[in-house]
Amino acid sequence: MRPDPKRFDEMTRRQLLRRAALLASGALAGPALFQLIRAGDPLAIAFAQGLFDRIKGLPPEVTSNKDFYVVSKNPPGFDPVVNGERWTLEIAGLVSRPVKLAYNSIRALPSVERYHTLECISNEIGGNLISNAKWRGVPLRDVLAKAGELSPKTVRIAFRCADGYTEAIPLADALNPDSLLVYEMNGERLPDAHGFPVRLLVPGLFGMKNPKWITKIEAVNYNFLGYWERSGWSDKAVVQTMSKFATPRSGTTVRPGDDVELGGVAYAGDRGIRAVELSSDDGKTWQPAEIKSPLGKYTWVLWASVWKPPAAGTYPLRIRATDGLGRRQTDEDTPTLPHGATGHHRIVLRVRA
């Protein structure tokens, strides 16, 4: 959402000055500012952008390769390192023409570049097993097409990996044009730790459904269960709507009347984020936070707010998000196993005179 220069022309100098004064004083903070932004008010949009520039401690919108979270089934030091020159990708199973593709053959296919957030299904509420990067790769369905036609009996597409990891997704997800086999991350060759030569990116699913170091893709006619599913984790593994504080830390002490800068991220997979709300009284009342436009339809959003504590005391703060379908994040606390954790992220701030 960008300011429309024509809107500035429609506003008198007096209106601009008055609006700027109200924004600066905080009189239009919270719900009123939120409504102005949704209506496309140029000054309100500019004010919100300034808010994000102001908040210290927000994560970068794009996570660097070295800081992107890493999870695998392997003990530390035992992830595979694949030789790309010798590696081939086998496509087999219920296909009319089984084939093996070299790394350069995949890179030669028409590619797609996009931002995409990944979150581990074992990410706790408020946890750090979530990151966002720009990826380049080829649609999985285009790679599958190299093996001819799929049998009408195909129900799932299974993946086998260099470290023995296995995974499978429904055929509909595999044929989604936005499901990619990626070979670049943030403009660089896909790092070994993130699955070189290729890994999978599927919209809306937790990281376990996005296998790394893929060596074989197989069309099957049965409910193939992957490595983690056989241990009791969800087979669907659809991302839960999440939001969290990145700043400040729980236990931080401030003074009454201070401008307390709050911020973090929210994510709901392929559903997107419609709104983020903040509570300073442990969920009794809520007010909207500002959300930054996402980098893509499969990415997290940054949120930010400034809170003024009215008096000394201990304040339990909560954050919650509403996804793009209008479904509000549940406050029910559940563990990560089997479907991914749910609940509100909470922090406590101490206000001392």
C-alpha R_g of the chain:
23
Q: Which residues, at least 6 apart from 301, have a Cβ–Cβ distance to it below 8 Å?
A: 265, 266, 267, 273, 276, 291, 292, 293, 294
User: Residues 175-230: pLDDT tens digits?
Assistant: 999 999 999 999 999 999 999 999 999 999 999 999 999 999 999 999 999 999 99
CB 118 within 8 A of CB 207: yes
- How far is 29 from 23, CA to CA, in rounded Å? 7
In sign, the C-alpha dihedral spanning 34, 288, 58, 71 is negative
Q: Which residues, at least 6 apart from 162, have a Cβ–Cβ distance to it below 8 Å?
A: 80, 82, 213, 214, 215
Out of 3.20.20.140, 3.40.190.10, 2.60.40.650, 3.40.950.10, the CATH code matching 240-353 is: 2.60.40.650
Out of 3.90.1300.10, 3.90.420.10, 3.40.50.150, 3.10.20.740, the CATH code matching 88-231 is: 3.90.420.10
pLDDT at position 10 is: 44
User: Residues 113-159: pLDDT tens digits?
Assistant: 999 999 999 999 999 999 999 999 999 999 999 999 999 999 999 99
pLDDT at 237 over 90: yes
- How far is 230 from 245, CA to CA, in rounded Å? 33
pLDDT at position 8 is: 39
Please report where in the chains the tokens 């260099």 appear, as a residue. 162
pLDDT at position 219 is: 98
In angstroms, the Cα distances linking 112 to 109, 125, 177, 277, 331 are: 10, 32, 10, 34, 37
Q: Is the whole model's pTM more than 0.85, yes or no?
A: yes
pLDDT at position 42 is: 61
Shortest CA distance to 29 belongs to which of 2, 54, 66, 61? 54
User: Residues 286-343: pLDDT tens digits?
Assistant: 999 999 999 999 999 999 999 999 999 999 999 999 999 999 999 999 999 999 999 9
Map out the domains of the chain as residue ranges. Answer: 1-53, 88-231, 240-353
Q: Which residues pair with 218 in a beta bridge?
A: 92, 158
What count of Cα atoms within 13 Å lies in the side-chain half-sphere of residue 232? 4
**Fold equal for 88-231 and 240-353:** no
CB 85 within 8 A of CB 329: no
